[in-house]
Amino acid sequence: MDCYIKTLGEKVLGGSDVTREEALFISGLRGNAIHDLLYWANKIRQKFLGSDISCCALVSAKQGRCPEDCSFCAQSARFNTAVEEFSFMGREGLEGALKSTSELGAGSLGIVTSGRELSDDEVDRLCEGTRGVNGTNGLHLHASLGLLSPQNARQLKNSGVRRINHNLETSERFFPKLCTTHSYSDRIRTVKEAKEAGLEVCSGGIFGVGESPEDRVDLAFALRE
């Protein structure tokens, strides 16, 4: 067992990708084999990512009353979660969040909004509040805003937003179990449009919502693609 894990680890360190079958094997490891897996995973992390840690502050810039039915989310208006609700904050609120982030010493500020997507007016207001900030005092701007149009993605990039967070959440097969009000292809489209606009993308998913090991592997391969 440990020899096979070592072979896979050396394969990745050499620049090759694991196959889906190899990934399924890894996802099924149990017992002492987990220690071997963690050893090689750590070596891979050190080679490709290093040991630096970056801290990101978050501000909720719009909260509650989301029309989508994502089953894991407290922001959805379809569930009684008693979350505090407020509309998109103004420039003063954004400036206050930026100031607090700088005082905390975080390297980036993530601006997070509820809802399927921002209106054009909300994007305008966001860009007005963020323009010229990216890189100031080492601070970078990130945003998680739901679905994006190509125009809004370009607008955010031009205003100084550096990175978009938009998760795929799970595999395409399992996604309808989590959400029915938008599609998996909607999420993939947003990721691609953000990248085409020159934005960096942070994308991942969630575990423990009823998905299978195969769903987790399929998510990883979709993210790699």
68-96 tens-digit pLDDT: 999 999 999 999 898 999 999 988 888 88
The pLDDT of residue 221 is 97
Is 185 a residue whose pLDDT tops 80? yes
Cβ neighbours of residue 118 under 8 Å, at least 6 residues apart?
62, 88, 126, 145, 146, 152
Token pair listed for 21: 């079958």
Backbone phi, psi, residue 77, to 5°: -70, -10
CA distance 114 to 73: 10
Q: What is the pLDDT of residue 132?
A: 74
Using 50, 70 and 90 to split pLDDT, how confident is the model at 131?
A: confident
pLDDT of 2 reads 79
Dihedral (CA of 144, 63, 79, 182) sign: negative
Per-residue confidence band for 54, with pLDDT thresholds at 50, 70 and 90: confident
Q: pLDDT value at position 49?
A: 94
Q: Which of 81-90, 102-111, 194-203 has the highest mean predicted lDDT (pLDDT)?
A: 194-203
Percentage of the chain lying above the pLDDT 70 cut: 100
Query: Rg of the Cα trace of the chain?
Result: 20
